[in-house]
Amino acid sequence: MKKETIIALLHGPDQPGLVAKASSWIFDRGSNIDHADQHKDPEANIFFQRVEWVPSGNPKEEAAAFKTFAETSLKMNAQVVLNTKKPKVALFVSKIDHCFHDIILRFKANEMSGELACIISNHKALEKAAETYGIPFYHTPFEN
């Protein structure tokens, strides 16, 4: 079974020490970072960070505490979630089915994270196949 982790997405004005402050907060709680990425948009002076870690205590409480820390102490916009939270996903398709089947089977095999909630298409070609998988299909015709 995959271990429960916390994933934080931060963005806001760049300032010195953001990476050190975020990683120190995690370390000070006895938690361990599994993965971290950061990037700065130099033209807009916006700092972006994604950090994922294994919590040392209650995951929900630690996630909520980090969100508060990021927003108040770091002055960053923060989205913090547990990796066990599965987002709902809509699959947009057209007429060709090879990627359609591959993606659905990857969701069913838990190779892709999330709940495949529906299929949206500008053609009805894959409607029956969607019914076979038990996934709601929505046809949205598009004309130039």
Mean pLDDT of 116-129: 95
The region that residue 95 occupies, defined by phi over 0 for left and psi between -120 and 50 for alpha, beta otherwise, is: alpha
Task: Return the pLDDT at 71.
Answer: 97
Mean pLDDT of 46-69: 97
- With a cut of 70, say whether residue 92 has pLDDT above it: yes
Contact 65, 93 (CB under 8 A): no
**What is the pTM for the complete model shown?**
0.69
Of residues 84 and 66, more confidently modeled? 66
Fold of 6-82: Alpha-Beta Plaits (3.30.70)
Task: Return the pLDDT at 41.
Answer: 96
28, burial (CB in 10 Å: exposed 0-12, middle 13-18, buried 19+): exposed
Residues whose CB falls within 8 Å of the CB of residue 16, separated by 6 or more in sequence, listed in order: none
